Chain A
Amino acid sequence: MRTTIKENRARLNLTQEQLADKVGVRRETIVFLEKGKYNPSLRLAHDIAVTLGVSIDEVFFFDDEAGR
């Protein structure tokens, strides 16, 4: 899985800690999300997308989607 969390965070000048606080998780979870190593719940994915001001499919991509 790939994400654009880091790029969107940079666009909004948000730190990992600030994003974590806004969506109610620990900073380490944001780190693993950005590395594409954690598969979040739909609720968390939604909260992150809303916080970043984009839709879910603009933030999360699965590897099998990349080649489409």
Chain B
Amino acid sequence: MSLELDMAKARIINMYLGGALLLAGGTLMLMNNTLDNVLWVLLLFGLALFTGGLFEFLGLSKPMKDERIAKIGTRAMTYSWYIVLVFIGFMAMVFGMGGGDKISMPQAVGSVLMVMVVSTLALNWYLGREGDVE
């Protein structure tokens, strides 16, 4: 059981590492307007790490299962999804209509990746400060 717990904690640490890789990849895609092979591998690795520990982080799977963490985590994910939806809609409005400014695929994907990771972690921290969500 202790080994299982240690593994779960290691996956949560890896999740933060994966989030950092996704953020770095997203920033590079946004700044350099590219998605080359090296960056693609970086994103794949980051995604594997991030998703690999997400359910433990959210308190949804054993042995880290916890109803309070899960309650806060699912609320944070709901808000995060909403923010991403609004962000994508906003991008569609700004870059899709009017024909003025344009955004490339790597820039669009990179910015969405960043918003997803940052909003998930930030909202989870913000909502968790008081210990509960109503």
Residues of A participating in the B interface, judged by any CB pair closer than 8 Å? 24-26, 28-29, 32, 35, 37-41, 43-44
* Interface contacts beyond A29-B67, A37-B132: sample of 10 additional A-B pairs, CB < 8 Å, sorted by A: A25-B66, A25-B68, A26-B66, A37-B131, A39-B132, A40-B67, A40-B68, A41-B67, A43-B67, A44-B67
**Pairwise interchain contact A26-B132, C-beta atoms closer than 8 A:** no
Residues of A within 8 A of B130 (CB): 37
Residues of B within 8 A of A24 (CB): 65-66
Q: Mark B118-133, 1 if CB is under 8 A from A, else 0.
A: 0000000000001110
Q: Which of B53-69 contact A (CB under 8 A)?
A: 59, 64-69
Determine the residue in chain B with the shortest Cβ distance to A35. B131
Residues of A within 8 A of B59 (CB): 26
Residues of B within 8 A of A29 (CB): 66-69
How many residues of B sit at the interface, in one of the four size bands? 10 to 19
Q: Chain A binding site: helix, strand, loop or mixed by DSSP? A: loop
Q: Chain B binding site: helix, strand, loop or mixed by DSSP? A: loop
The minimal Cβ–Cβ distance linking A4 to chain B, given in whole angstroms, is 18
Residues of B within 8 A of A43 (CB): 67
Q: Kindly name the residue among B66, B68, B130, B131 whose own CB sees the greatest number of chain A CB atoms within 10 A.
A: B68
**Pairwise interchain contact B132-A38, C-beta atoms closer than 8 A:** yes
Determine the residue in chain A with the shortest Cβ distance to B132. A38
Residues of A within 8 A of B68 (CB): 25-26, 28-29, 32, 38, 40
Residues of B within 8 A of A40 (CB): 67-68
Residues of B within 8 A of A39 (CB): 132, 134
The minimal Cβ–Cβ distance linking B12 to chain A, given in whole angstroms, is 12
Q: Kindly name the residue among B65, B67, B130, B134 whose own CB sees the greatest number of chain A CB atoms within 10 A.
A: B67
A40–B132 Cα gap in the complex (Å)? 9
A44–B130 Cα gap in the complex (Å)? 19
